[in-house]
Structure 1
Amino acid sequence: MTLVEAAPAPARERRRMAVPKWALNVISVVIGLGVWWGLSLSGLDIPAPPVVLSRAIDLIEDGTLGGDVLASLRRVLAGFLLGVVAAVPIGFLMGWYPPVRALIEPWIQFFRTIPPLALIPLAIVLMGIEETPKIFVIFLASFLSCVIATLQGVVNVDRTLINAARVLSARDHTIFARVVIPASSPFILVGMRIGLGSSWATLVAAELIAAQQGLGYRMQAAQLYYDLPTIFVGLISIGVLGLIMDRLLLLAERRLTSWQETR
């Protein structure tokens, strides 16, 4: 047996991660910027990073970028949170009660096959052109991702744990609170992360609905004038905001599921 094989797992892990994770992240960002700059210098019709940075500074100074970020964040957070609040209890009911699952699941699967963007014309007709249809489309994207994850989390709860709780005379509400919810929480949090990504992915199309502010609206307006730097500013802003929100959810996931064994 070699020394590497004999070393305990944490020691091997530390040896493999000789370079800190944050340093690898910085290296990755630098490489990405280098590739982007190289592509712009190679003749492709894309703006170089300094041009995009200059445009971002202009948009920040005149308040345009701040207003667009706030408008988009407001829509994404409203749609995402409403989707999660609706999806979690419905997912629990579907997973815990087979008759409820049989009644609701066909409709969930039916709407999952319809892209939320395809519902934009219907949303405009039924809800007008104010904020409601924009938030509804984002809500639907978040809801469908989160409800399936919650359902899967409840279905995957180890039956041994439930049976052991019943042997100890635990009632259904106690089993649900002490066994089902903790055991399914990792699935719910993953579903929330997927739903958050779907919400941001739907944002640009949602802001087609008579928006006057927002990152998606600004990118679509810039497209008319072939304003590539503004489009890149919008893309990067959406990516950065989405990444920050995803990291916050990941941090919450680690804290709430610290009892789990990890590899």
Structure 2
Amino acid sequence: MSKIWGRILWPLAGFGSFVLVWYLVAVSGVMPPGQLPRPDEVVGTLATQFRDDDLLLDVRLSVLRVLIGVAVGCSLALPVGFLLAWYTPLRQMFDPLFSFFRALPPIALIPLVIIYLGIGEQARLFILIYAAFFASVVVIYEGIASTDEIYVRAARSMGASEMELFRRVIVPLAVPQVLVAVRVAVGVCWATLVAAELIAAQRGLGASIQDAANFFQIEMVYGGVVLIGLSALVMDRLLAVVMKRAVRWQDRVGG
């Protein structure tokens, strides 16, 4: 019963409390009329949009963009992270550079991206790949670099070569950090999605929010924000399950 409370009932109670506070504030008159819709009004607007305007297509496009951004960004970050962690001079040389680019908000790059890549899909994907890469590469190499030295010494004392040390010790110990990096990249990509879809996107949740804001359709603005949050939450929970199953042999990894 305690597991059910921890995994299902307490999270539902948290969401329920949030929705209740939202509803009470909306009906209290604290906010000017029309600026804070009730939760049921947002749900009704979403239902109408799903039925009449194919909002599901926007959800699918945004999810696909985030998946591509995370997959490509993390795939590029993985070898780079291993190299930086394995070779200290490389890390000392490039760590400030990576910190510099990681601190740059992707939205600041939009003018340059438009100049070099235009306003097509490749520009939007570049923004998401950029965000995923720099968010995950630092997590990967810092995690690997902090591997307990006792494992490395034990492997070397048993005659392991550098390749065996890397393949049988470093890689397995790095699995949790890689999965954490993917989870971080997912969150960063969803946070960057609206900025990416500012680049002349016709469909997508970010584009829907922008269109709704232009016409002051406040219920749809809230609805788009809710859908982005729910989509990000579902992806994060799925990754948490995968992470727990993939590294269940390591007690230090939680969901």
Task: State the alpha-carbon separation in 2 of the partners of residues 19 and 67 from structure 1.
Answer: 34
1:94-115, Cα deviation, whole Å (9 max, x unpaired): 1001233234323212212211
Residue 104 (structure 1) aligned with residue 89 (structure 2)? no
Tell me if structure 2 keeps the 8 A contact 1:117–1:206: yes
2:146 to 156, 159, 169: 156
**CA RMSD for the aligned pairs?**
1.6
2:17 to 15, 31, 56: 31
Q: Structure 1 residue 53: deviation in Å?
A: 1.2
Q: Structure 1 residue 63: deviation in Å?
A: 4.3
Q: Structure 1 residue 18: deviation in Å?
A: 8.3
What secondary structure does 1:196 align onto? helix
Identity %: 36
How many residues end up aligned between the 2 structures?
248
Unaligned runs of 5+ in 1: 1-13
1:199 to 161, 176, 189: 189
Letter in 1 for 2:11: N
Residues 49-88 of structure 1 correspond to what in structure 2 (within 5 A)? 49-88=39-78
Partner of 1:146: 136
Unaligned runs of 5+ in 2: none
Tell me if structure 1 keeps the 8 A contact 2:132–2:186: yes
Partner of 1:217: 207
Partner of 1:20: 5
Partner of 1:119: 109
Task: State the alpha-carbon separation in 2 of the partners of residues 102 and 34 from structure 1.
Answer: 50
Tell me if structure 1 keeps the 8 A contact 2:81–2:137: yes
Normalised TM-score (structure 2): 0.92
Residue 41 (structure 1) aligned with residue 27 (structure 2)? yes
Normalised TM-score (structure 1): 0.90
Tell me if structure 2 keeps the 8 A contact 1:153–1:183: no
1:106-136, Cα deviation, whole Å (9 max, x unpaired): 3212212211111111011000100111111
Q: Name whichever of 239-248 and 64-73 sits farther off.
A: 64-73
Task: State the alpha-carbon separation in 1 of the partners of residues 244 and 4 from structure 2.
Answer: 22
What secondary structure does 1:20 align onto? helix
Larger Rg over CA atoms: 1
1:148-207, Cα deviation, whole Å (9 max, x unpaired): 111012111111111111121111121111111121222222121111111000000111
Residue 260 (structure 1) aligned with residue 245 (structure 2)? no
Q: Name whichever of 157-166 and 87-96 sits farther off.
A: 157-166
Tell me if structure 2 keeps the 8 A contact 1:116–1:137: yes
Task: State the alpha-carbon separation in 2 of the partners of residues 49 and 20 from structure 1.
Answer: 25
Tell me if structure 2 keeps the 8 A contact 1:87–1:146: yes
